[in-house]
Amino acid sequence: MKFNNNFAEQVKAAVDIVRVISEYVRLRKAGANYVGLCPFHSENTPSFHVHQAQQFYHCFGCNAGGDVFKFIQSVERITFPESLKFLAEKYGIPMPKADFSKEQDSTAKERLTLLDINQKATKVFKHQLRHSSEGKQALQYLMERGLSEKTIDKFDIGYAPSSSNIIFHSLSKEFPSDLLIKSGLVLVNDSDSR
């Protein structure tokens, strides 16, 4: 899959590496930079540094380092195009059309489709949390446990109803059944019981 290099630079300029990494690592300000415990190896003393002005990270313990794309690739275990799409969608940056003309890109295309399925499933579960009767009970429980609306939104908390075929019924018009099953969100018998 090919993306225009300008688009990658546009995404990189639009996202704050500190904000992205702080969703995975607890960072604290240290001078002009931020430090925290490295997510890539076990440590007790912070050796993981994030340089906000230069938009890169480096761990002095394990030598991991790179830009925001490299971080997302490493922590999410995805490819560069997937990390680009992940960040663009997360921060509302419209994606240009991708070129899937080469055979070796079929795996990347499938992974991007699986990512789309998971992102749309998240929306379904978030909708269920607020609009289904079971979901409203779960939302009340979350509130009683001290979770705020802001926390629920930040972590994309949703509700999976007891009828397990909600994802199949919600997404089957948009995605093929085999990929819904491959996503792990739909069981074979769910797709059989339309």
Q: What is the pLDDT of residues 69-109, one digit of tens each?
A: 999 999 988 888 889 989 998 888 887 765 555 555 677 77
Instruction: Return d(Cα 21, Cα 39) in angstroms, integer.
Output: 10
Mean pLDDT, the chain, integer: 85
CATH number at residue 68: 3.90.580.10
Same domain, 66 and 110: no
* pLDDT attached to residue 184: 84
Beta-carbon contacts of residue 171 (< 8 Å; ≥ 6 apart): 117, 120, 121, 124, 180
The last residue of one of the domains, among 41, 66, 90, is 90
Q: 89, 151 in Cβ contact below 8 A?
A: no
Instruction: Return d(Cα 80, Cα 73) in angstroms, integer.
Output: 6
3-state secondary structure of 33: strand
- What backbone phi and psi angles, to 5 degrees, belong to 30? -140, 95
The last residue of one of the domains, among 66, 90, 114, is 90
* pLDDT attached to residue 166: 84
What is the arithmetic mean of pLDDT over 113-126?
88
> Which of 65-69, 131-135, 176-180 has the highest mean predicted lDDT (pLDDT)?
65-69
The total number of residues shown for the chain amounts to 194
Same domain, 132 and 175: yes
pTM (predicted TM-score): 0.54
Q: Is residue 95 part of a domain?
A: no
Count: domains in the chain: 2
Question: 194 pLDDT band (50/70/90 cuts)?
Answer: very low
Same domain, 113 and 186: yes
Q: 78, 111 in Cβ contact below 8 A?
A: yes
Same domain, 111 and 159: yes
Query: Domain residues for 168?
Result: 105-192
* pLDDT attached to residue 4: 54
Same domain, 121 and 86: no
> Which of 35-39, 98-102, 108-112, 136-140 has the highest mean predicted lDDT (pLDDT)?
35-39
